Structures are given as C-alpha cells and as structure tokens.
Amino acid sequence: MGVLNILWRNIRWRFQNPISIVITILQPLIWLILYSSVAGQAVQNMGIDNYTAFILPGIIVLVTLAACSSGGIINYIMKSNGSFYRILIAPVSRNSIVLGQMLEAVLVSFLEVVILCVVGFFFSVKVASGIAGILLMILLVFMTAFFMSGLTYSISLFLPNEVIYETIMNAIVLPIFFLSPALFPTENLSGGLAVAVTLNPFTHIINALRSLILGETILLGEILPVIVLFIVMCCCSFGLAKWRLKKEMAH
C-alpha cells in the first residue's frame, strides 16, 4: 500500500460523500458572488476597477484552507471504522501515509479553486500575466494547500474528536482570513494591526496571487521570497505530520 493507494482510498471516500466538497465551496462562492457585488460599490473610490478580481486571491486562499480543514475529518472517520489503525500496521512507510492524506486535500483544493476561477471568469476576471502567471498561481496554490494539509493532519492527530477539531480550525482559519488583505487594501493600516497582517504568511500569498491576476508584469522579486517562505513552511508542516504520526504509532 503506497501513496497512490492511500490517495485513492481518500478520494473515493470524498466522492462517496460529495457534501464535504459542496459545503467547503459554498461559503467562498457566496463571498465571491454576493459580497463582491455588494461591497464592490463601496470600494469604487479606492481605485479598484474589478472588485471580484481583487478579492478572488483571498477567496482562493479561503477555499484552500477550508478544503484542507475538511481533510482532517477523514482521520476521525477512519478511526471510527478501524481503517486508520489497519493502515498503521500495514507494510507502508510513514511518508506514504502522510503524503497520501495530504495530497488528497491538495487535489480537493485544486478542484474547488478551478470552480472559483470558472465563476470568476463570468465576472470578467482574467489572469493578466498570462500562461506564466497561471503556472505560478498553480505553484502558489499547491504550496498553500500542501502546508495547510500537513498542519490540519497534525492537528487532527493531536485532538480527541472532530467537534474540538472543527472548533480549533475555525479559530485558526477565520483570523488568518480577516487579518489579511483578502477583502480590502491594507496599505493604510498602522500599529499592531498592520504588524499582524504583515506577519500573516497568507498575506504574502494573497498579494502574490493578486499581482499575477491584476498585473501584466510578473514581479519575481516579490514572488520568489514568498515561494521560498512556503517551501520552508511546507517542509516544516510535512515534518510535523510525520512526527505526530510516529507518536500515534507508538501508542
């Protein structure tokens, strides 16, 4: 049983329970369609021509966080039916177990991001930076999902049940979203709030995605540091997941 077997096992469960996909995409779609229509009129004096295009990067990050958070629920379902423990005693490496779980969340994230982008297309959202920009966006979304899937996998192994898990994840995801430039420009912020927004790593992902969507020129000097940052974060996330699984196997 390798990475692909575990990945397929989780994908099969996900599509047998499509409500998990519908729920995680529903709220971001509401933000993208309704909120952008209402708030777009209020921000016209800020020089934002297409508010839907402006908030799309933040909504992409939000749906990625939500999809990865829902991936952690699979662990509790697997524990309840015993399949989690059967995998632990199977002749399969910890790397394969962790990667199989994480990549499922990454794939679901991409599925939902594609849905968002298709909807955005009908609101005149285009990637101004062209094919190269789209490829960089794919890389940024992958790293965001990979980091978050490793983190949520680790958290799901720390916490005793899905109720506490969902409470903790809401307490993590919502501040990440609102302490970022997801909905409004943050250039004029000051004090502690400005520091919090700057320290939020997803601020830099959102800004990078936004520059690729709105700008015709790819600013590698701004995007490359974000890529390096998230490479480090992804390695830490994967390492934490492996360590936590090792502790689980020792019990």
Confidence of residue 162 (pLDDT cuts 50, 70, 90): confident
Mean of the per-residue pLDDT values for the chain? 85
Residue 57 has a pLDDT of 94
43-70 residue pLDDT tens: 666 667 788 889 999 999 988 998 888 8
Report the candidate in 60, 239, 218, 219 with the shortest Cα–Cα distance to residue 142. 60
Which among 107, 78, 118 is positioned nearest to 245, based on CA atoms? Answer: 78
Q: What is the pLDDT of residue 14?
A: 72
pTM (2 d.p.): 0.89
Among 72, 77, 21, 81, which residue's Cα sits nearest to residue 241?
A: 72
- DSSP code string of 76-133: HHHHHHTHHHHHHHSS--HHHHHHHHHHHHHHHHHHHHHHHHHHHHTTT---TTHHHH
Q: Render pLDDT for 20-37 as a digit per residue (tens, 0 to 9).
A: 677 777 777 787 777 777
Torsion of CA 129, 132, 137, 140, to 10 degrees: -130
